[in-house]
Amino acid sequence: MIESYINLIKGGEGEIVEKKSRFIGQIKPVSSEEEAYAFIDKIKKKHYAARHNCFAFSVGAEQPLLRFSDDGEPQGTAGKPILEVITSSKIHNICIVVTRYFGGTLLGTGGLVRAYTDASKEALSNCETKLMERLVPADIKTNYNDIGKIQYILGNRDVKILDTLYTDDVLIKIHLRKKEADSIIKELTNATSARAEIDIFDEIYG
């Protein structure tokens, strides 16, 4: 698993005009290839009169599925630049469609690459993202005497307590950042002289 990635939380739109051609960037969070193509089809229907609806998308956290299309533009001038915006931003689970309404003036290869890149970046600037880190869910079972020590360590290490259940013992549910998990567990074990029982679960992103 990679240590972290950026996830798209909320999509957005942005538009630029280059020599009277309109380039409209439209972005949506997607969790599958099917969802990405459904969004692309929706944009194509919405902008049916446009000359081109070029796109790129990235789905998945590790070794993400990457696809792009020039949709009739010269090869390498639209889909690939859009995809490069995605990969350079390190955002996953994202689909970008850039719609072009032709303004009557040819832009040339370099002009098209810049226009599709700029429209993608403009739309991206209006999106919301979240850093997804590799996390280790854990349960800490402790007695009441050690609860203060544990809470102090977790607070000092900036570990968010998800829930605390008070019965005969105390059960604390937490998520540890993977890169810090071993050292925090060792610190908790030492502080409680191994009295705290710590159960580790499968890693997640969050």
- Check residue 2 and give its pLDDT: 84
Q: How many domains does the chain have?
A: 2
Contact 54, 148 (CB under 8 A): no
Task: Looking at the structure, tell me whether residues 113 and 167 fall in a common domain.
Answer: no
What's the CA gap between 185 and 34, in Å, rounded? 41
- Global confidence as pTM: 0.81
Residue identified by tokens 């689909």 is: 95
Q: What is the mean pLDDT of residues 51-57?
A: 97
Task: Looking at the structure, tell me whether residues 192 and 140 fall in a common domain.
Answer: yes
pLDDT at residue 6 above 90? yes
* Strand 4-10 with 128-142, pairing: antiparallel
- Burial pattern 133-165, b for ≥16 Cβ within 10 A else e, equals bbbbbbbbebeeebbebbbebbeeeebeeeeee
Percent of the chain at pLDDT above 90? 96
* Final residue belonging to a domain, choices 126, 144, 159: 126
- pLDDT tens-place string over residues 86-134: 999 999 999 999 999 999 999 999 999 999 999 999 999 999 999 999 9
- pLDDT tens-place string over residues 165-190: 999 999 999 999 999 999 999 999 99
Rg (C-alpha) for the chain, rounded Å, is 24
Range of the domain at 84: 4-126
